[in-house]
Amino acid sequence: MPTHRYPDSNVFYRRLARDYPRVVRASGCWLEDADGRRYLDACGGAFVANVGHGVSEIGDAMAEQARRVAYVNGTAFTHDAVESLAVELAALCPGDLDKVYPLSSGSEAVEAALKLARQYWVEVGRPGKHRVIALAPAYHGNTLLALSASARAHYTACYGEWLVDVERIPAPYAYRCACGGVPPLCPACSGAALEQAILRLGPETVAAFIAEPVGGSSTGASVPPAGYFARVRELCDRYEVLFVADEVLTGAGRTGTWSALEPAGVVPDVMTLGKGISGGYAPLSALVAPARIVDALVPRGGLLHAQTFSHHPVACAAGVATLRHLRAHRLVERCATMGAVLHERLQALRALPHVGDVRGCGLLAGVEFVDDQETRAPFPRAVGFAEAFTAAALDAGLVVWPNVGHADGTNGDLVMLAPPFVISDAEVDEIVGRFTDALYKVRLSALGARLSATAAPTPGSRLPAPGSPHVDAGAAGL
Protein backbone atom coordinates (compact mmCIF):
# COMPACT_ATOMS: atom_id res chain seq x y z
CA MET A 1 0.00 0.00 0.00
CA PRO A 2 1.43 3.44 -0.90
CA THR A 3 2.35 5.82 1.91
CA HIS A 4 0.39 9.04 1.89
CA ARG A 5 2.95 11.41 3.32
CA TYR A 6 5.77 13.65 2.18
CA PRO A 7 8.17 12.89 0.50
CA ASP A 8 6.95 9.40 -0.42
CA SER A 9 4.04 10.74 -2.47
CA ASN A 10 4.14 13.18 -5.38
CA VAL A 11 1.57 15.34 -3.57
CA PHE A 12 2.80 18.59 -1.99
CA TYR A 13 0.71 18.14 1.16
CA ARG A 14 -0.47 21.00 3.34
CA ARG A 15 1.33 19.40 6.29
CA LEU A 16 4.65 17.76 5.55
CA ALA A 17 5.26 15.74 8.72
CA ARG A 18 2.29 13.42 9.01
CA ASP A 19 0.57 10.44 7.40
CA TYR A 20 -2.71 11.15 5.64
CA PRO A 21 -5.64 8.75 5.70
CA ARG A 22 -6.98 8.41 2.14
CA VAL A 23 -10.72 9.13 2.11
CA VAL A 24 -12.54 7.05 -0.51
CA ARG A 25 -16.20 7.84 0.18
CA ALA A 26 -18.40 10.12 2.24
CA SER A 27 -22.07 10.34 3.17
CA GLY A 28 -24.00 12.65 5.46
CA CYS A 29 -21.70 13.48 8.37
CA TRP A 30 -19.30 10.58 7.80
CA LEU A 31 -16.03 10.00 5.95
CA GLU A 32 -14.54 6.59 5.21
CA ASP A 33 -10.89 5.92 4.41
CA ALA A 34 -9.24 3.24 2.30
CA ASP A 35 -8.78 1.02 5.36
CA GLY A 36 -12.50 1.11 6.16
CA ARG A 37 -12.18 3.45 9.15
CA ARG A 38 -15.01 5.93 9.54
CA TYR A 39 -14.75 9.47 10.86
CA LEU A 40 -17.48 11.76 12.13
CA ASP A 41 -16.86 15.04 10.29
CA ALA A 42 -17.60 17.41 13.15
CA CYS A 43 -16.19 20.47 11.39
CA GLY A 44 -17.55 20.06 7.86
CA GLY A 45 -13.99 19.75 6.58
CA ALA A 46 -13.17 23.43 6.96
CA PHE A 47 -16.66 24.74 7.88
CA VAL A 48 -17.74 23.86 4.33
CA ALA A 49 -19.92 20.73 4.21
CA ASN A 50 -23.18 22.26 5.37
CA VAL A 51 -25.59 20.15 3.27
CA GLY A 52 -23.67 16.97 4.11
CA HIS A 53 -21.55 14.67 2.01
CA GLY A 54 -22.86 12.65 -0.92
CA VAL A 55 -25.76 14.79 -2.16
CA SER A 56 -26.01 13.34 -5.65
CA GLU A 57 -28.30 16.03 -7.08
CA ILE A 58 -25.53 18.62 -6.67
CA GLY A 59 -23.02 16.43 -8.47
CA ASP A 60 -25.61 15.77 -11.18
CA ALA A 61 -26.17 19.52 -11.67
CA MET A 62 -22.43 20.06 -12.05
CA ALA A 63 -22.11 17.22 -14.54
CA GLU A 64 -25.00 18.53 -16.61
CA GLN A 65 -23.50 22.02 -16.67
CA ALA A 66 -20.08 20.62 -17.67
CA ARG A 67 -21.68 18.75 -20.55
CA ARG A 68 -23.38 21.91 -21.82
CA VAL A 69 -20.88 24.70 -21.04
CA ALA A 70 -17.86 23.91 -18.88
CA TYR A 71 -16.02 27.22 -19.14
CA VAL A 72 -16.32 30.66 -20.69
CA ASN A 73 -14.36 33.77 -19.82
CA GLY A 74 -16.28 36.13 -17.57
CA THR A 75 -15.06 39.19 -19.44
CA ALA A 76 -16.65 38.01 -22.71
CA PHE A 77 -19.78 36.00 -21.89
CA THR A 78 -22.45 35.37 -19.31
CA HIS A 79 -24.33 32.08 -18.91
CA ASP A 80 -27.38 30.58 -17.25
CA ALA A 81 -25.58 29.25 -14.17
CA VAL A 82 -24.10 32.58 -13.10
CA GLU A 83 -27.34 34.45 -13.81
CA SER A 84 -29.27 31.94 -11.68
CA LEU A 85 -26.68 32.03 -8.88
CA ALA A 86 -26.87 35.81 -8.73
CA VAL A 87 -30.66 35.72 -8.48
CA GLU A 88 -30.55 33.10 -5.72
CA LEU A 89 -27.94 34.94 -3.65
CA ALA A 90 -29.52 38.37 -4.12
CA ALA A 91 -32.81 37.00 -2.77
CA LEU A 92 -31.04 35.69 0.35
CA CYS A 93 -28.76 38.63 1.16
CA PRO A 94 -30.05 41.48 3.34
CA GLY A 95 -31.03 44.99 2.33
CA ASP A 96 -29.75 46.31 -0.97
CA LEU A 97 -26.99 43.71 -1.45
CA ASP A 98 -27.92 42.41 -4.89
CA LYS A 99 -24.89 42.47 -7.21
CA VAL A 100 -22.99 39.18 -7.09
CA TYR A 101 -19.39 38.66 -8.24
CA PRO A 102 -18.54 34.92 -8.01
CA LEU A 103 -14.98 33.78 -7.29
CA SER A 104 -13.26 30.57 -6.21
CA SER A 105 -12.23 31.01 -2.57
CA GLY A 106 -12.89 33.07 0.52
CA SER A 107 -9.47 34.69 0.28
CA GLU A 108 -10.27 35.86 -3.26
CA ALA A 109 -13.64 37.24 -2.15
CA VAL A 110 -12.06 39.22 0.69
CA GLU A 111 -9.28 40.45 -1.59
CA ALA A 112 -11.89 41.65 -4.09
CA ALA A 113 -14.07 43.23 -1.39
CA LEU A 114 -11.23 45.33 0.01
CA LYS A 115 -10.14 46.31 -3.49
CA LEU A 116 -13.73 47.29 -4.24
CA ALA A 117 -13.80 49.51 -1.15
CA ARG A 118 -10.59 51.24 -2.24
CA GLN A 119 -11.67 51.63 -5.86
CA TYR A 120 -15.05 53.01 -4.82
CA TRP A 121 -13.48 55.87 -2.92
CA VAL A 122 -11.09 56.61 -5.78
CA GLU A 123 -13.96 56.65 -8.30
CA VAL A 124 -16.04 59.07 -6.21
CA GLY A 125 -13.13 61.48 -5.93
CA ARG A 126 -11.86 60.67 -2.44
CA PRO A 127 -8.54 58.86 -3.02
CA GLY A 128 -7.28 59.75 0.46
CA LYS A 129 -9.53 57.04 1.91
CA HIS A 130 -7.24 54.02 1.76
CA ARG A 131 -6.83 52.69 5.30
CA VAL A 132 -8.43 49.44 6.46
CA ILE A 133 -9.40 48.67 10.06
CA ALA A 134 -9.71 45.04 11.19
CA LEU A 135 -10.12 43.10 14.41
CA ALA A 136 -7.47 41.19 16.34
CA PRO A 137 -7.62 38.23 16.62
CA ALA A 138 -9.11 37.75 13.15
CA TYR A 139 -8.66 35.80 9.95
CA HIS A 140 -9.75 36.78 6.45
CA GLY A 141 -7.66 34.67 4.08
CA ASN A 142 -4.21 33.97 2.70
CA THR A 143 -3.86 36.16 -0.38
CA LEU A 144 -1.68 39.10 0.58
CA LEU A 145 -4.32 41.79 1.10
CA ALA A 146 -6.62 39.36 2.92
CA LEU A 147 -3.66 38.16 4.99
CA SER A 148 -2.81 41.77 5.80
CA ALA A 149 -6.27 42.15 7.32
CA SER A 150 -5.79 38.96 9.34
CA ALA A 151 -4.19 38.86 12.77
CA ARG A 152 -2.41 35.53 13.01
CA ALA A 153 1.28 35.93 13.73
CA HIS A 154 2.11 32.33 12.80
CA TYR A 155 0.68 32.94 9.29
CA THR A 156 2.14 36.39 8.70
CA ALA A 157 5.62 36.01 10.21
CA CYS A 158 7.31 35.07 6.93
CA TYR A 159 5.58 37.73 4.87
CA GLY A 160 5.67 40.86 6.99
CA GLU A 161 7.62 42.89 4.44
CA TRP A 162 5.02 42.10 1.76
CA LEU A 163 1.90 43.00 3.75
CA VAL A 164 -0.18 46.18 3.76
CA ASP A 165 -0.36 48.20 6.98
CA VAL A 166 -3.80 47.49 8.49
CA GLU A 167 -5.01 49.18 11.67
CA ARG A 168 -6.08 46.65 14.29
CA ILE A 169 -8.54 47.00 17.13
CA PRO A 170 -9.32 44.35 19.75
CA ALA A 171 -12.05 41.90 18.83
CA PRO A 172 -15.11 41.56 21.05
CA TYR A 173 -13.88 38.39 22.73
CA ALA A 174 -15.78 38.04 25.99
CA TYR A 175 -13.86 35.09 27.45
CA ARG A 176 -10.59 37.02 27.32
CA CYS A 177 -11.96 40.53 27.74
CA ALA A 178 -11.82 42.59 30.92
CA CYS A 179 -15.60 43.17 30.89
CA GLY A 180 -16.47 39.58 30.09
CA GLY A 181 -19.05 40.80 27.60
CA VAL A 182 -21.22 42.13 30.44
CA PRO A 183 -22.19 45.83 30.79
CA PRO A 184 -20.58 48.21 31.37
CA LEU A 185 -18.80 47.06 28.23
CA CYS A 186 -15.17 47.78 27.50
CA PRO A 187 -14.21 49.62 24.27
CA ALA A 188 -13.59 46.30 22.46
CA CYS A 189 -17.04 44.91 23.25
CA SER A 190 -19.00 48.15 22.90
CA GLY A 191 -17.58 49.21 19.54
CA ALA A 192 -15.94 52.29 21.04
CA ALA A 193 -12.55 50.94 19.95
CA LEU A 194 -13.64 51.32 16.33
CA GLU A 195 -14.54 54.97 16.79
CA GLN A 196 -11.25 55.62 18.57
CA ALA A 197 -9.34 54.07 15.65
CA ILE A 198 -11.25 56.04 13.02
CA LEU A 199 -10.58 59.29 14.84
CA ARG A 200 -6.94 58.41 15.45
CA LEU A 201 -6.36 57.70 11.74
CA GLY A 202 -8.63 60.49 10.54
CA PRO A 203 -12.00 59.62 8.95
CA GLU A 204 -10.79 61.11 5.68
CA THR A 205 -8.22 58.27 5.41
CA VAL A 206 -10.36 55.25 6.34
CA ALA A 207 -11.86 53.25 3.49
CA ALA A 208 -13.25 50.17 5.22
CA PHE A 209 -13.78 48.22 8.40
CA ILE A 210 -13.83 44.42 7.99
CA ALA A 211 -15.08 41.89 10.52
CA GLU A 212 -16.66 38.45 10.87
CA PRO A 213 -20.11 38.86 12.50
CA VAL A 214 -19.37 35.85 14.71
CA GLY A 215 -15.78 34.96 15.36
CA GLY A 216 -14.31 32.19 13.25
CA SER A 217 -11.50 29.99 14.45
CA SER A 218 -9.42 33.02 15.48
CA THR A 219 -11.68 33.65 18.48
CA GLY A 220 -13.34 30.25 18.62
CA ALA A 221 -16.91 31.26 17.69
CA SER A 222 -16.98 34.18 20.11
CA VAL A 223 -20.33 35.99 19.76
CA PRO A 224 -20.20 39.80 20.12
CA PRO A 225 -22.52 41.42 22.69
CA ALA A 226 -25.96 42.50 21.55
CA GLY A 227 -25.77 45.91 19.93
CA TYR A 228 -22.15 45.63 18.82
CA PHE A 229 -22.82 45.60 15.09
CA ALA A 230 -25.59 48.18 15.36
CA ARG A 231 -22.92 50.47 16.83
CA VAL A 232 -20.50 49.48 14.05
CA ARG A 233 -23.12 50.34 11.44
CA GLU A 234 -23.83 53.72 13.05
CA LEU A 235 -20.11 54.59 13.26
CA CYS A 236 -19.44 53.56 9.66
CA ASP A 237 -22.34 55.72 8.50
CA ARG A 238 -21.25 58.69 10.60
CA TYR A 239 -17.63 58.63 9.41
CA GLU A 240 -18.30 57.41 5.87
CA VAL A 241 -16.48 54.11 6.20
CA LEU A 242 -17.56 51.03 4.24
CA PHE A 243 -18.48 48.09 6.48
CA VAL A 244 -17.32 44.80 4.94
CA ALA A 245 -18.92 41.75 6.57
CA ASP A 246 -16.78 38.66 6.06
CA GLU A 247 -19.38 35.88 6.08
CA VAL A 248 -17.25 33.34 4.25
CA LEU A 249 -17.42 31.09 7.32
CA THR A 250 -20.52 32.33 9.15
CA GLY A 251 -22.85 32.81 6.16
CA ALA A 252 -24.99 30.32 4.23
CA GLY A 253 -26.89 29.45 7.40
CA ARG A 254 -24.00 28.27 9.57
CA THR A 255 -25.13 30.30 12.62
CA GLY A 256 -28.83 29.42 12.22
CA THR A 257 -29.80 32.31 9.95
CA TRP A 258 -28.69 32.89 6.37
CA SER A 259 -26.52 35.83 7.46
CA ALA A 260 -24.96 35.93 10.91
CA LEU A 261 -25.84 39.65 10.95
CA GLU A 262 -29.54 38.93 10.49
CA PRO A 263 -30.40 38.82 14.23
CA ALA A 264 -28.79 42.25 14.63
CA GLY A 265 -30.84 43.72 11.79
CA VAL A 266 -27.67 45.19 10.27
CA VAL A 267 -26.91 45.45 6.55
CA PRO A 268 -23.22 45.82 5.61
CA ASP A 269 -22.00 47.77 2.60
CA VAL A 270 -20.23 44.72 1.20
CA MET A 271 -20.55 41.03 2.09
CA THR A 272 -18.28 38.12 1.27
CA LEU A 273 -19.61 34.57 1.11
CA GLY A 274 -17.96 31.21 0.49
CA LYS A 275 -17.64 27.73 1.97
CA GLY A 276 -21.29 26.76 2.44
CA ILE A 277 -22.70 28.43 -0.68
CA SER A 278 -21.58 25.39 -2.65
CA GLY A 279 -21.40 22.93 0.25
CA GLY A 280 -17.86 21.97 -0.77
CA TYR A 281 -18.98 20.46 -4.06
CA ALA A 282 -17.02 23.09 -6.01
CA PRO A 283 -14.62 25.91 -5.09
CA LEU A 284 -16.99 28.89 -4.95
CA SER A 285 -17.15 32.21 -3.15
CA ALA A 286 -18.84 35.52 -3.84
CA LEU A 287 -18.55 39.22 -3.27
CA VAL A 288 -22.00 40.82 -2.90
CA ALA A 289 -22.43 44.59 -3.11
CA PRO A 290 -25.24 47.10 -3.74
CA ALA A 291 -25.77 49.04 -6.96
CA ARG A 292 -25.02 52.29 -5.09
CA ILE A 293 -21.39 51.11 -4.81
CA VAL A 294 -21.08 49.20 -8.07
CA ASP A 295 -22.49 52.15 -10.05
CA ALA A 296 -19.37 54.15 -9.19
CA LEU A 297 -17.26 51.65 -11.16
CA VAL A 298 -19.17 52.03 -14.43
CA PRO A 299 -17.05 54.87 -15.93
CA ARG A 300 -13.87 52.78 -15.58
CA GLY A 301 -15.62 49.68 -16.90
CA GLY A 302 -15.77 47.54 -13.77
CA LEU A 303 -13.86 46.26 -10.76
CA LEU A 304 -10.09 46.29 -11.24
CA HIS A 305 -9.80 42.67 -10.21
CA ALA A 306 -9.33 39.66 -12.46
CA GLN A 307 -9.51 35.91 -11.85
CA THR A 308 -9.47 33.34 -14.65
CA PHE A 309 -12.04 31.17 -12.90
CA SER A 310 -14.43 33.87 -11.66
CA HIS A 311 -18.05 33.39 -12.79
CA HIS A 312 -17.19 29.74 -13.56
CA PRO A 313 -20.18 27.83 -15.03
CA VAL A 314 -19.68 24.51 -13.22
CA ALA A 315 -18.91 26.18 -9.88
CA CYS A 316 -21.95 28.44 -10.25
CA ALA A 317 -24.13 25.42 -11.09
CA ALA A 318 -22.93 23.78 -7.86
CA GLY A 319 -23.89 26.93 -5.98
CA VAL A 320 -27.36 27.06 -7.49
CA ALA A 321 -27.99 23.40 -6.70
CA THR A 322 -26.71 23.82 -3.13
CA LEU A 323 -28.82 26.90 -2.42
CA ARG A 324 -31.93 25.19 -3.79
CA HIS A 325 -31.17 22.08 -1.73
CA LEU A 326 -30.82 24.21 1.41
CA ARG A 327 -34.18 25.81 0.71
CA ALA A 328 -36.05 22.65 -0.33
CA HIS A 329 -34.96 20.75 2.77
CA ARG A 330 -35.21 23.76 5.14
CA LEU A 331 -31.65 23.11 6.23
CA VAL A 332 -30.96 26.61 7.57
CA GLU A 333 -33.95 26.16 9.88
CA ARG A 334 -32.62 22.72 10.77
CA CYS A 335 -29.26 24.29 11.57
CA ALA A 336 -30.96 26.57 14.09
CA THR A 337 -32.80 23.63 15.68
CA MET A 338 -29.84 21.28 15.80
CA GLY A 339 -27.59 24.13 16.87
CA ALA A 340 -29.63 24.45 20.06
CA VAL A 341 -29.22 20.70 20.62
CA LEU A 342 -25.47 20.85 19.97
CA HIS A 343 -24.87 23.69 22.42
CA GLU A 344 -27.01 22.07 25.10
CA ARG A 345 -25.10 18.79 24.85
CA LEU A 346 -21.71 20.52 24.64
CA GLN A 347 -22.24 22.02 28.10
CA ALA A 348 -21.16 18.61 29.45
CA LEU A 349 -17.64 19.41 28.25
CA ARG A 350 -17.33 22.22 30.79
CA ALA A 351 -16.87 19.57 33.48
CA LEU A 352 -13.80 18.20 31.75
CA PRO A 353 -10.24 19.15 32.73
CA HIS A 354 -8.67 22.01 30.79
CA VAL A 355 -11.91 23.07 29.08
CA GLY A 356 -12.03 26.81 29.67
CA ASP A 357 -15.04 27.82 27.61
CA VAL A 358 -17.65 26.46 25.22
CA ARG A 359 -19.37 29.02 23.00
CA GLY A 360 -20.92 29.81 19.64
CA CYS A 361 -24.29 29.79 17.91
CA GLY A 362 -26.08 27.61 15.41
CA LEU A 363 -23.95 24.69 14.27
CA LEU A 364 -20.77 26.60 15.02
CA ALA A 365 -19.01 26.04 18.33
CA GLY A 366 -15.62 26.69 19.84
CA VAL A 367 -14.05 24.86 22.78
CA GLU A 368 -11.13 26.74 24.32
CA PHE A 369 -8.53 24.81 26.30
CA VAL A 370 -6.59 26.35 29.18
CA ASP A 371 -3.80 25.28 31.49
CA ASP A 372 -5.68 26.71 34.48
CA GLN A 373 -9.48 26.95 34.42
CA GLU A 374 -9.65 29.47 37.23
CA THR A 375 -7.13 31.98 35.90
CA ARG A 376 -7.79 31.13 32.22
CA ALA A 377 -4.05 30.95 31.66
CA PRO A 378 -3.31 29.31 28.31
CA PHE A 379 -0.90 26.46 27.78
CA PRO A 380 2.55 27.54 26.62
CA ARG A 381 2.66 27.20 22.84
CA ALA A 382 5.45 24.65 23.15
CA VAL A 383 3.00 22.15 24.65
CA GLY A 384 1.11 21.94 21.34
CA PHE A 385 -2.15 21.07 23.08
CA ALA A 386 -4.52 21.86 20.20
CA GLU A 387 -2.45 19.80 17.80
CA ALA A 388 -2.24 16.87 20.21
CA PHE A 389 -5.97 16.97 20.85
CA THR A 390 -6.78 17.13 17.13
CA ALA A 391 -4.61 14.06 16.49
CA ALA A 392 -6.23 12.20 19.39
CA ALA A 393 -9.69 13.13 18.12
CA LEU A 394 -8.86 11.85 14.64
CA ASP A 395 -7.63 8.63 16.20
CA ALA A 396 -11.00 8.45 17.97
CA GLY A 397 -12.78 8.93 14.63
CA LEU A 398 -13.69 12.59 15.18
CA VAL A 399 -12.62 15.40 12.85
CA VAL A 400 -12.24 18.83 14.52
CA TRP A 401 -10.62 22.10 13.47
CA PRO A 402 -7.78 23.46 15.67
CA ASN A 403 -6.54 26.98 16.18
CA VAL A 404 -3.71 28.45 18.21
CA GLY A 405 -2.34 31.80 19.30
CA HIS A 406 -5.61 33.57 20.07
CA ALA A 407 -4.91 34.21 23.77
CA ASP A 408 -2.00 36.61 23.31
CA GLY A 409 -0.85 36.26 19.71
CA THR A 410 1.38 33.28 20.48
CA ASN A 411 -0.27 31.10 23.12
CA GLY A 412 -3.78 29.70 23.15
CA ASP A 413 -5.43 26.45 22.10
CA LEU A 414 -8.95 25.76 20.88
CA VAL A 415 -10.87 23.54 18.52
CA MET A 416 -13.91 24.31 16.41
CA LEU A 417 -16.99 22.22 15.70
CA ALA A 418 -19.16 22.88 12.65
CA PRO A 419 -20.94 19.69 11.60
CA PRO A 420 -23.20 19.40 8.54
CA PHE A 421 -26.74 20.68 8.99
CA VAL A 422 -28.05 17.13 8.52
CA ILE A 423 -26.52 15.93 11.79
CA SER A 424 -28.77 13.83 14.02
CA ASP A 425 -29.29 13.84 17.78
CA ALA A 426 -27.37 10.57 18.03
CA GLU A 427 -24.44 12.02 16.10
CA VAL A 428 -24.36 15.07 18.39
CA ASP A 429 -24.04 12.69 21.33
CA GLU A 430 -21.30 10.88 19.45
CA ILE A 431 -19.37 14.16 19.08
CA VAL A 432 -19.51 14.70 22.84
CA GLY A 433 -18.45 11.14 23.60
CA ARG A 434 -15.55 11.02 21.17
CA PHE A 435 -14.43 14.51 22.22
CA THR A 436 -14.31 13.34 25.83
CA ASP A 437 -12.35 10.21 24.98
CA ALA A 438 -9.84 12.24 22.96
CA LEU A 439 -9.31 14.75 25.75
CA TYR A 440 -8.51 12.08 28.31
CA LYS A 441 -6.27 10.30 25.83
CA VAL A 442 -4.23 13.49 25.46
CA ARG A 443 -3.92 13.77 29.23
CA LEU A 444 -2.76 10.17 29.50
CA SER A 445 -0.23 10.54 26.71
CA ALA A 446 3.29 11.96 26.83
CA LEU A 447 1.73 15.36 27.49
CA GLY A 448 0.60 14.03 30.84
CA ALA A 449 4.02 14.80 32.28
CA ARG A 450 3.44 18.46 31.51
CA LEU A 451 -0.23 18.68 32.39
CA SER A 452 -1.59 18.72 35.93
CA ALA A 453 -2.65 15.31 37.23
CA THR A 454 -6.40 14.65 37.22
CA ALA A 455 -8.22 11.39 37.73
CA ALA A 456 -9.21 10.00 34.35
CA PRO A 457 -12.18 7.76 33.63
CA THR A 458 -11.66 4.10 33.08
CA PRO A 459 -10.55 3.27 29.52
CA GLY A 460 -13.39 3.53 27.03
CA SER A 461 -15.78 5.30 29.42
CA ARG A 462 -17.35 8.62 28.46
CA LEU A 463 -19.00 11.55 30.11
CA PRO A 464 -22.55 11.52 28.67
CA ALA A 465 -24.30 14.67 27.55
CA PRO A 466 -26.98 15.96 29.95
CA GLY A 467 -30.13 13.92 29.62
CA SER A 468 -28.67 11.81 26.82
CA PRO A 469 -27.74 8.13 26.95
CA HIS A 470 -24.34 6.98 25.77
CA VAL A 471 -24.37 6.45 22.02
CA ASP A 472 -22.29 3.58 20.73
CA ALA A 473 -20.75 3.27 17.29
CA GLY A 474 -23.49 0.99 16.03
CA ALA A 475 -26.26 3.41 16.95
CA ALA A 476 -24.52 6.13 14.97
CA GLY A 477 -24.36 4.04 11.84
CA LEU A 478 -20.70 3.05 11.91
Look at residue 154 in the predicted model and tell me its pLDDT. 81
The string over 263-281, giving b where at least 16 C-beta atoms fall within 10 Å of a residue's C-beta and e elsewhere, is ebebbbbbbbbbbbbbbbb
Conformational region of residue 382, where left means phi above 0, alpha means psi within -120 to 50, and beta covers everything else: alpha
- Whether the Cβ atoms of residue 289 and residue 263 lie closer than 8 Å to each other: no
Residue 110 is given by DSSP the state H
Residue type, 44: G
Look at residue 157 in the predicted model and tell me its pLDDT. 87
pTM, full prediction? 0.93
3-state secondary structure of 29: coil
- Whether the Cβ atoms of residue 138 and residue 171 lie closer than 8 Å to each other: yes
Look at residue 155 in the predicted model and tell me its pLDDT. 83
Residues 354/356/358/360 CA torsion (nearest 10 deg)? -130
Look at residue 471 in the predicted model and tell me its pLDDT. 30
Separation of CA 328 from chain center: 24
Q: Report the distance separating Cα 151 and Cα 173, nearest Å.
A: 14
Residue type, 304: L
Estimate the crossing angle of helix 313-328 against helix 56-68, to 10 degrees.
Answer: 150
Residues with Cβ < 8 Å from 292, sequence gap 6 or more? 96
Q: Report the distance separating Cα 271 and Cα 89, nearest Å.
A: 11
Look at residue 57 in the predicted model and tell me its pLDDT. 98
Residue type, 66: A
Q: Report the distance separating Cα 467 and Cα 385, nearest Å.
A: 30
Please write the tens of the pLDDT for every residue from 290-329: 999 999 999 999 999 999 999 999 999 999 999 999 999 9
Element (H, E) at 355: strand 355-361
Strand partners, 31: 26, 39
Conformational region of residue 47, where left means phi above 0, alpha means psi within -120 to 50, and beta covers everything else: left
Residues with Cβ < 8 Å from 363, sequence gap 6 or more? 254, 256, 335, 338, 339, 342, 417, 418, 419, 420, 421, 423
Residues with Cβ < 8 Å from 380, sequence gap 6 or more? 371, 411
> Which CA distances in Å does 362 have to 19, 253, 257, 443, 471?
33, 8, 8, 30, 22
Task: Specify the pairing of strand 167-170 against strand 364-369.
Answer: unpaired
Residue type, 60: D
Residue 364 is given by DSSP the state E
Residues with Cβ < 8 Å from 391, sequence gap 6 or more? none
Identify the structural domains of the chain with CATH numbers, from first to last.
56-328 (3.40.640.10), 332-449 (3.90.1150.10)
Q: Report the distance separating Cα 373 and Cα 60, nearest Å.
A: 50
Q: Report the distance separating Cα 40 and Cα 130, nearest Å.
A: 45
Q: Report the distance separating Cα 410 and Cα 217, nearest Å.
A: 15
Which residue numbers in the chain have pLDDT < 50? 453-478
Q: Report the distance separating Cα 134 and Cα 218, nearest Å.
A: 13
Look at residue 476 in the predicted model and tell me its pLDDT. 29
Q: Exposed, middle or buried by CB within 10 Å (0-12, 13-18, 19+), for 361?
A: buried
